[in-house]
Structure 1
Amino acid sequence: MPMRLSDLSACFEGVIPSIIATASADGMPNISYLSHVVRVDEEHVALSNQFFAKTAANVRANPHVTLILVDGFTGDQYLLDIGFVRSVDAGPLFERIALQLKASSAQVGMSEVMRLRSADTFRVHGIEKVPSPVETTAAPTARTAVSLPALSEAVRTIERQAEADEIIDSLLSGVRQVLGYQNALVLIRDGHRGSLATTGSIGYERSGLGSEVAGGEGMIGAAAASGQTIKVSDMSRVRRFGEAISQEEEAQENTTRIVAFPELPGAMSQIAVPMAARGVVVGVLFIESPQRLAFREEDEAALAILAGQAAVALTVSEGEAASIEPARSAPRLQSGAAGREIRVTHHRADDSIFIDNTYIVKGVAGALLRLMVEWHHGDGRIEFTNREMRLAIGGRMPEIKDNLETRLLLLRRRLEEKQAPIRLVRAGRGRVRLEADGPLVLREPGE
């Protein structure tokens, strides 16, 4: 049976560069390396055009081209007889290749050099396996296919959740149970700061909760900005994304106000999947694995389904929480609260919060804690609704149209992780309660 392009999936992961052989109109041969080859369908491939001028000129003068693909697992080589069809510098195919190129080249500091000129589509006329003079590596044992019943149950579990923390935890649980990946993060978009903040994680020695990725930066930022899944299948060829982010020790958080991005030592594959609802990206699901070529096409599809369901659930949860009215008689803290005085310091420049000189969080989450402490001082209340906080903070932060639930979740989890003497407890749908081990004192720097 003739080989099909779908049989060569491991050749399209960019692990081992492909080779393109062209010839000029008078038959002079030329050979170049390619960074990306994409399977379009069973009859076409698309090549990233960063060719030297000679290769590009040859393709236009003589459309008959030979392409060598290499299996990233086994080292087997395949000779493809292809013919030039068209070149595009815009559209879905171009954007798909450009984003992948940008993400991978950014890992080695060459994002400004490795720019895609065009995506060139070729028709495949024949595929031939190249005989090897030495024995190639045996193909890895086939992995179990994704279980559709398990995926369906994971989707239903996410759909049933009403609170942001339950939704995010169910998403991460689904990644582990359905696909078997042990290291994953959920980063939620923060339009106010133009970044994405880690709000949930599994499998890391340090959770990284509160660590941030600047909008558009690396794989995660590119996935959020484009709404497309981006992956790197062999990290031995590129610098780890985490190494491009400050790896400050926990003790330095108080000085830098930067939480170190979690890392998986020896990670070989990474994938960033946008969490989008009705075309709006609310966050990114980021997964890494110690295995090369870890993420198959069906894995990408399953992850997209899980991430999409989580995005929809978060959007619904946000809308429902925003509709809760304040209680007519909200609980109040009794005067003369026992315990030592707890000092809450708020920095207006970035809305960062320190509790007894320990850094907690910044941005909208920090502004929310300050707001609750101010209200508590004003009338003694300890319970607050998302609705009133959204209305109160919206005047100063007009971008806070959504994701307030996830900001409160990040604040609550950071307080728990830092074992702070202040806690944020769910008190019902769209409602939280502020608990403290002593009287709260709100300060500005220098006071």
Structure 2
Amino acid sequence: MIALETIRDAFEGIMPSVIATTDASGTPNLSYLSHVYYVDAGHVALSNQFFSKTAANVRANGRANLIVIDGRTGLQHRLDLFFDRSEAAGTVFERVSAHLDVMAALQGKSGMLKLKAVDIYRVLDCVRIDPVAPLDTPDPDIPPPEDHLPHLAAVVSAIDAAEDTETMLDRALEMLDRRFGFRHTMLMIADGDRLTTLASRGYPHYGIGAEIAFGDGIIGIAAERRRTIRISDMRRGQRYVSAVAAAIGREHEDIPLPLLEEPQTQMAVPLLFRSRLIGVLFSESETSFSFSHADETALEIIAGHIAAGLVLAELTSPENEAGTAAPADATSGEGPDFRVTYVQRDGSVFIDNDYVIRGVPGRLLHCFLKTRAETGRSEFSNREIRRDRTILLPEYKDNLEARLILLRRRLEERGGPVRIERPARGIIRLIVDGHYAIERVEET
């Protein structure tokens, strides 16, 4: 029997699988399956959504034959199966359900392929089907598997050695590029029921501040389900890109997610610290089969270290090392006059009608600008920020450092008359070029 671990690429769903069953009289029936899911060395899972005749035959005798095809090499294998059990909850069910939801989104049918149950089969035998004609050699652009451990160790070491949160994030994406060849990556942090882009690499624009809701596309579903999702070949679902473009930017179209126009492979890994969702690490490629099972495992380990690093930044916050920030010069500096509009409903900040940012980072920016306009003070401490109830920081694990990084990077990428600096641990300095007036909008 061929070990299932060696043919896991045949379970990617690139080529439909064929399931064969017989009824009590021996009459055969064939059906096509979009996916077969690897469970462990002795079991596979099938979504319980195939034709009723197949289901009836399995209930009658518990047996099925399955042909799976490796989308990279074209190799085929036949699996002899025996029905074990059906599950409507649990780890396997949630993994299959999340994957089906992403595939539905790829084809513009979100919400139409809800999983009822997943059937677990014991694999009695697995044999290779020899081709009648020689198969084409694999695409030379597909790199052969290599030992991931040295690369993984190098990335984790770089993350752990970073002296501050911002350096850690940049170094992580840089090392993923250098060591694993992940050219296009993005890191998003969770904020309520949305994810906000904090860092990116390999795109024409950084997209800092771009948002996506939980449940939208592969990134949102990975966050919502807290599960890694990998799509190896998106040629059957290019509608995903336009679907994501519609899901974001409904209110703030000037901060699009920095996605590839025609991705072929995508992977989204939740940043988890214990059961807490910190954010999502996302990578994509213009080449099919760019990410292997080993890549998925490595990225999950790296994501765990990034999540731990972000939590550690909260625990070692320098707010107790820095007292109240010193007063600063009240002059407005050189530059044109401009108007700041603050929308209380969602914390949105606009400068001369151009959207800047919203949520906690938006409320932070409004607090800085308002205080400076009223008192002339331009430096603020982490301690006083956490004591200001108008900012609406969470009472527990507020992730303030990540939000300040997001605000600084968004202002830097956007350009304009307002920016912030970090002159010392626990201190934020507001820099303003010109004079401004603040308009507060009380929307409901």
TM, length-normalised to structure 2: 0.92
C-alpha distance in structure 2 between counterparts of 1:308 and 1:415, whole Å: 28
Map of 2:407 onto structure 1: 411
Q: Structure 1 CA distance, aligned partners of 2:332 and 2:422?
A: 24
Cα drift, residue 273 of structure 1: 0.3
Residue 275 (structure 2) aligns with: 279
The answer as to 2:365 corresponding to 1:369 is yes
Matching residue of 2:238 = 239
Counterpart CA distance in 2 for 1:357 and 1:88 is: 53
Answer yes or no: is the 8 Å Cα contact 2:340–2:352 preserved in 1.
yes
| Local SS of the residue matching 1:243 | helix
**Runs of 5+ consecutive residues of structure 1 not aligned to the other structure:** none
2:265 corresponds to 1:269 = yes
Q: Unaligned 5+ residue runs, structure 2? A: none
Q: What's the C-alpha RMSD, in Å, of the aligned pairs? A: 2.4
Distance 1:68 1:381 in 2: 70
Report % sequence identity. 40
Tell me, in whole angstroms, the C-alpha distance in 1 between the residues paired with 2:419 and 2:323.
21
Mapped to 2, the partners of 1:341 and 1:414 lie a distance apart of 21
Matched, 1:348 2:355: no
1:415 shift after superposition: 1.1
Q: Secondary structure at the match of 2:197?
A: strand
Tell me the distance in 2 between the aligned counterparts of 1:302 and 1:279: 19
1:161 and 1:167 in contact (8 A); partners too? yes
Match of 2:186 in 1: 185
**Equivalence for 1:42:** 41
Would the aligned equivalents of 1:344 and 1:440 in 2 still touch at CA under 8 Å? yes
Cα distance change, pair 440–319 in 1 and its aligned pair in 2 (3 A): farther
Structure 1 residue 435 corresponds to structure 2 residue 443: no
Structure 2 counterparts to residues 21-420 of structure 1, below 5 A: 21-140=20-139, 142-191=143-192, 194-246=193-245, 256=252, 258-321=254-317, 323-324=319-320, 327-328=323-324, 330-335=326-331, 337-393=333-389, 396=392, 398=394, 401-420=397-416
Q: Which amino acid aligns with 1:321?
A: S
Q: Distance in 1 between matches of 2:215 and 2:320?
A: 34
Task: Provide the C-alpha distance between the structure 2 equivalents of 1:257 and 1:347, rounded to a whole number of angstroms.
Answer: 17
CA contact (8 A) 1:161 1:313 kept: no
User: For 1:22 and 1:434, how far apart are their aligned partners in 2?
Assistant: 70
The one-letter amino acid paired with 1:95 is: E
Partner of 2:388: helix, strand, or coil?
helix
Query: What is the rounded CA distance, in whole Å, between the counterparts of 2:240 and 2:320 in structure 1?
Result: 40
Cα distance in 2 for partners of 1:245, 1:317 equals 31
SS at 2:430's partner residue? Answer: strand
**Secondary structure, counterpart of 1:237 in structure 2:** coil
Bigger drift between 235-244 and 49-58 goes to: 235-244
Partners of 2:151 and 2:180 within 8 A in 1: no
Change in Cα spacing, 1:340 to 1:324, as seen in structure 2 (3 Å) is farther
Q: Which deviations, in whole Å up to 9, do the C-alpha atoms of 1:420-442 show, x marking residues without a partner?
A: 11111012222211111223422
Distance in 2 separating the partners of 1:106 and 1:46: 22
Secondary structure of the structure 2 residue equivalent to 1:291: coil
Alpha-carbon offset, residue 248 of structure 1: 11
Say whether the 8 Å CA contact 1:245–1:260 is kept in structure 2.
no
Name 2:8's counterpart in structure 1.
9
- 1:195 shift after superposition: 0.3
Secondary structure of 1:201's aligned partner = strand
Count of equivalent residues = 440
Distance, in Å, in 1 between the alignment partners of 2:131 and 2:325 is 80
**What secondary structure sits across from 1:7 in the alignment?**
helix
Q: CA deviation at 1:229?
A: 0.4
- Cα deviations across residues 261-287 of structure 1 (Å, max 9, x unaligned)? 222132101000011112211000010
The verdict on how the C-alpha distance between 1:263 and 1:328 changes in structure 2, with shifts beyond 3 A counting, is closer
Deviation, structure 1 residue 338: 4.0
Structure-2 separation of matches of 1:360 and 1:301: 36
Higher mean displacement: 388-397 or 290-299 = 388-397
Preserved contact between residue 215 and residue 224 of structure 1 (Cα < 8 Å):
yes
Work out the CA distance in 1 between the residues paired with 2:89 and 2:9.
26
**CA offset at residue 240 of structure 1?**
4.7
- Give the equivalent residue in structure 2 for 1:422: 418
Structure 1: distance between partners of 2:255 and 2:56: 50
Q: Determine the C-alpha separation between the residues in 1 that align with 2:30 and 2:270.
A: 37
> 1:279-304: per-residue Cα shift (whole Å, max 9, x none)?
21100001001121221111111101
State the shift of 1:307 in Å.
0.8
Structure 1 range deviating more: 303-312 or 86-95? 86-95
On the 8 A contact 2:217/2:240 being kept in 1, the answer is yes
Contact 1:13/1:293, CA 8 A, preserved across alignment: no
Distance 1:318 1:273 in 2: 22
Contact 1:50 1:115 in 2 (8 A): no
Q: TM-score, normalised by structure 1?
A: 0.91
Secondary structure of 2:255's counterpart equals coil
Q: 1:179 to 1:289 in 2, by over 3 A?
A: same
The whole-number CA distance in structure 2 between the counterparts of 1:97 and 1:390 is 41
Residue aligned with 2:380, SS: strand
CA distance in 2, matches of 1:206, 1:395: 29
Q: Structure 1 counterpart of 2:137, which letter?
A: A
Offset from partner CA, 1:132-180 (integer Å, 9 cap, x none): 3333232345525244233222212212334332222122112112211
Distance (Å, rounded) in 1 between the aligned partners of 2:120 and 2:10:
17
CA contact (8 A) 1:186 1:286 kept: yes
